[in-house]
Amino acid sequence: MQVVDQGGDKMVLHVGPQHPGSGHFRIVITLDGDYIIDAKPDPGYVHRGAEKMAEYRTYIQNIPHLERPVIIDATGITLPYVLTAEKILDVEPPERAQYIRMIMAELNRIISHLYWLAIYGIFLGHSTMFMWPMGDRELFIDLAESIGGTRVTFSYVVPGGVRNDIPGGFKERALKTFQYFEKRIKEYEEIFFNNPLMQSRTVGIGILKKQNAVKLGITGPNLRASGINSDTRKDEPYCFYNKIRFDIPVYKEGDSYARCMVRLRELQQSMDIIRQVLDRMKPGPIKHVIRGVMRGEPGEAFVRTEAARGTMFYHIVSNGERFPYRVKISVPSFRNLIGMSHLLVGSRLADMPAIYWSLDYWPVEADK
Amino acid sequence: METFEDFLKRILSILFWLLLLSPVIIFPVFFLLIPLLGISVPTTNEFLTALIDPIKGIQLANKYGVGPSSTFFKIAAFPGFTFAALIATITILYERKLIAKVQLRVGPLYAGRFEGVLQPIADLFKLLGKEIVVPEKADKFFFWSAPILSIGLGAALLAVLPLSPNIYIARSDVSLLIPFAIIGFSPLIVLIAAWASSNKFAFIGGLRALHQLVAYEIPMLISVLGVVILSGSLDLISIVESQQQVWFIFPQLLGAIIFYITILSELERVPFDIPEAETELVSGWLTEYTGMHFGLLQLGVYIKFYALSLLFTLLFLGGWYGPAFLPPLAWLLIKLFFVITIVILPRAVMPRLRIDQLIRLGWVWLIVLSFINLFIAVIEVSLGVI
């Protein structure tokens, strides 16, 4: 740890990597009294070279490997990879598989958002808001487990379709869970989102203006909280998102509270999407079986999807071998990290957690 | 792996062997060497009977001036420290179970046969077994003194708080002022702990505790003045006795609310746990404390919790008065746990405030409201309502 002499009454504070509020990264904060005058995010503590390692694995082996960076949003990061790989391998998944992929993607979005909500609660010192979403998250994990077989790392989406069909009785259980969770969302609002103390901690804190959000390249819910109606599911529909009716929650304020509300509304939207998908789904094959070794056509492909944290972008270059020649991932967390230092400067030290976690920054995803 | 029950069994077996061996080793020293110094000691027969017969034990204790009516016993055991520590321990368990129920959890469950009732004891043994780590750059003297001062401050608060008309350690004409004089020291202890740790997070936490003091101390004192005006006394026992007809919470509702908010602030409880804000300051001023150091600091805070809840009961809820089918002490404890519940509950439903919001709350709202409350008290007295 280097000691920086700032002179005067300024204090340099290293938040992380060993800090209950930092995660696997560090922010070097310079304080003048209670105000942050400089914030330097320092990522890279969990860099594992996921992109390079992907060049030494086959297209199938890459699926469990590439979901490691963000296991709480496993489908969010594997789905765009599989879509890109399908372009390289030139296979078309059956219709039912596309729908099941959407179910898993939206379930994972709910699981990821609930995890975020729980941590946001405890970041503001609200311990009940930590326990409730963590408990309700288990219900959605159970639903996803009944499809994918594991609790968190599903590795469920494969080139050509999905691994297995959804089990019988899934629709009834899912609808029952949604009915229960819609009641819980109202309780969340009562105890947390409409709580005047919570609003006094988040409203008007960490305002990200519309033009700054565009200039800094923010994506996902953070961008939509700044008043920009941008969602890859609407802009460049993949799977069958163009056949489903759903709204994109957009808030104009751009503060921490707006970012919270976008995610809360997205929980509802995701459940609506799954309901419609369950109604539209017809029985049929779920996998286009590929025989022999998968070898891509020489060439390159890219796909953009909407993961829980924002736009997830994959670019794969193939030279016709069993392994991809190059896998480039552009993850939303790293793009949102750019905005963090912009938001932290000028705020109070006590607002640091309220701003930091409202961006839903996941250090492992950013470091890859 | 050793379970908690095995652990208790081990401790009990050690105690058993100690008791068995003590006649062989300790008693010769006790009964041969000490009489040489000219001090009278109880005979072996007296001593051993006292160990198993409580009545004989009390008689023996009385003989040597440590019986239930002696000052030593009062300070160390019943209205004093041991009783307060017992209530504090019950409070810790009660808090954990209550918050767990709100959060749809079960809370402590395994220590003890019923609902984890032995969890505080298990925690105590855990803290005793931990290594005490003193940071290399810490100011050793002050680092060690903060836990002792913390528990000393908690114990000092108990000196003048009566539990019923005849259960108290000391009685004074100004017994209301003494607790407030002692409470004024508590941010100093926080600052000593924070400064001695030589840790930036602890230091910021200590500074926040001082700012917090500025915000709550003045409204706390002024809100109590209303009660003094109504009862016309600074003696806690007379204050309680003047509530025989009407509890002061009814004419002094505003004062009670202000006093309740300042209790939360003094105890650093949610929403005012700003000095130990976990996600910004690790554990604030407690960051560098480990093992029994941490345990003593926490016990000091919880004894302060007991003392302030008791003070609220005495000032606003009529102390030990209640229908005659229960003894006065039982009424006091019922009201005390009601207050403790109310002080615990915000932790389940509220997030943490910011220090500037607390200072604004203290200076803009609480001080003004406490003066208004003072005028209400004056008007009530002059109109003869009370």
The per-residue pLDDT for range B240-271, each reduced to its tens digit, is 888 888 888 888 889 999 999 999 988 888 88
* H-helix or E-strand spanning residue A30: strand A26-32
Distance from C-alpha of B260 to C-alpha of B275, rounded to nearest angstrom: 19
B288 interface with A at CB cutoff 8 Å: no
pLDDT of B295 over the 70 cut: yes
In this prediction, residue A294 carries a pLDDT of 80
- CB contact under 8 Å between B104 and A135, yes or no, is yes
- CB contact under 8 Å between A349 and B102, yes or no, is no
Chain B partners of A125 at a C-beta cutoff of 8 Å?
270-271, 273, 277-279, 350-352
User: Closest to A127 (Cβ–Cβ): which among B103, B353, B354?
Assistant: B103
CA-based nearest distance B204→chain A, Å:
9
Place of tokens 């990522």: A43
Instruction: Look up residue A259 and give its two tokens.
Output: 């970012």
| CA-based nearest residue to A141, from A149, A133, A151, A131 | A151
A residues 170-199 closer than 8 Å to B (CB): 191-192, 195, 197-198
Chain B partners of A197 at a C-beta cutoff of 8 Å?
271, 350-351, 353
Chain A and chain B share a number of CB contacts under 8 A equal to: 81
CA-based nearest distance A260→chain B, Å:
15
CA-based nearest distance B351→chain A, Å:
4
Could you tell me if A353 and A123 are in contact, meaning their C-beta atoms sit under 8 angstroms apart? yes
User: Closest to A20 (Cβ–Cβ): which among B105, B204, B279?
Assistant: B279
* H-helix or E-strand spanning residue A355: helix A352-356
- CB contact under 8 Å between B349 and A125, yes or no, is no
* H-helix or E-strand spanning residue B14: helix B4-28
Chain B partners of A131 at a C-beta cutoff of 8 Å?
103-105
Place of tokens 């598989």: A97
In this prediction, residue B340 carries a pLDDT of 93
Residue B268 one-letter amino acid: E
CA-based nearest distance A19→chain B, Å:
6
B137 interface with A at CB cutoff 8 Å: no
- CB contact under 8 Å between A126 and B350, yes or no, is yes
Count of other CB atoms within 10 angstroms of residue B182: 20
**Interface TM-score (ipTM) > 0.90:** no
Chain B partners of A195 at a C-beta cutoff of 8 Å?
349-351
Q: What percent of chain B has pLDDT over 70?
A: 95
- CB contact under 8 Å between A125 and B204, yes or no, is no
User: Closest to A197 (Cβ–Cβ): which among B105, B271, B356?
Assistant: B271
B357 interface with A at CB cutoff 8 Å: yes
| CA-based nearest residue to B163, from B48, B86, B49 | B86
- CB contact under 8 Å between A126 and B278, yes or no, is no
Residue of B nearest to A119 (CA): B279
Domains of chain A, each with CATH number or no CATH: 10-367 (1.10.645.10)
Distance from C-alpha of A202 to C-alpha of A199, rounded to nearest angstrom: 5
Could you tell me if B336 and B310 are in contact, meaning their C-beta atoms sit under 8 angstroms apart? yes
* H-helix or E-strand spanning residue A172: helix A170-188
Mean pLDDT, range B75-103, rounded to an integer: 88
CA-based nearest distance A82→chain B, Å:
37
Residues in chain A: 368
- CB contact under 8 Å between A198 and B200, yes or no, is no
* Spacing of C-alpha A142 from chain mean position: 19
CA-based nearest distance B270→chain A, Å:
8
Place of tokens 């606003």: B316
Residue B11 one-letter amino acid: I
Chain B partners of A349 at a C-beta cutoff of 8 Å?
204, 280
B348 interface with A at CB cutoff 8 Å: yes
Q: What is the mean pLDDT of chain A?
A: 87
- CB contact under 8 Å between B356 and A348, yes or no, is yes
Distance from C-alpha of B382 to C-alpha of B386, rounded to nearest angstrom: 9
Per-residue pLDDT tens over the stretch B142-186: 888 888 888 888 888 888 888 888 888 888 888 888 888 888 888
Instruction: Look up residue B277 and give its two tokens.
Output: 């804000």
User: Closest to B351 (Cβ–Cβ): which among A15, A131, A197?
Assistant: A197
DSSP A275-293: HHHHHH------B-PPPS-
In this prediction, residue A1 carries a pLDDT of 40
B3-26 core/surface letters (b: 16 or more CB in 10 A; e: else) = ebeeeeeeeeeeeeeeeeeeeeee
In this prediction, residue A38 carries a pLDDT of 87
Chain B partners of A191 at a C-beta cutoff of 8 Å?
349
Q: What percent of chain B has pLDDT over 90?
A: 12
Q: Which of A290-304, B45-59, B184-198, B356-370 has the lowest mean pLDDT?
A: B45-59
Distance from C-alpha of A228 to C-alpha of A219, rounded to nearest angstrom: 10
Could you tell me if B215 and B363 are in contact, meaning their C-beta atoms sit under 8 angstroms apart? yes
User: Closest to B352 (Cβ–Cβ): which among A19, A124, A135?
Assistant: A124
Residue of A nearest to B274 (CA): A350
A352 interface with B at CB cutoff 8 Å: yes
3-state secondary structure of A314: strand
Residue B155 one-letter amino acid: A
Residue of A nearest to B287 (CA): A19
User: Closest to A353 (Cβ–Cβ): which among B201, B279, B349?
Assistant: B279
In this prediction, residue A2 carries a pLDDT of 47
B101 interface with A at CB cutoff 8 Å: no
Distance from C-alpha of B168 to C-alpha of B164, rounded to nearest angstrom: 7
Interface test with B, best of A30, A123, A193 (most B CBs within 10 A): A123
Could you tell me if B263 and B343 are in contact, meaning their C-beta atoms sit under 8 angstroms apart? yes
DSSP A208-272: --HHHHHHHT--HHHHHHTT----HHHHS--TTGGGS-------SS-SHHHHHHHHHHHHHHHHH
DSSP class of A71: G
Residue of A nearest to B106 (CA): A131
Q: What's phi and psi for B167, nearest 5 deg?
A: -110, 100
Which stretches in chain A have pLDDT values below 50? 1-3
In this prediction, residue A180 carries a pLDDT of 93
Place of tokens 């509530």: B243
Residue of A nearest to B105 (CA): A131
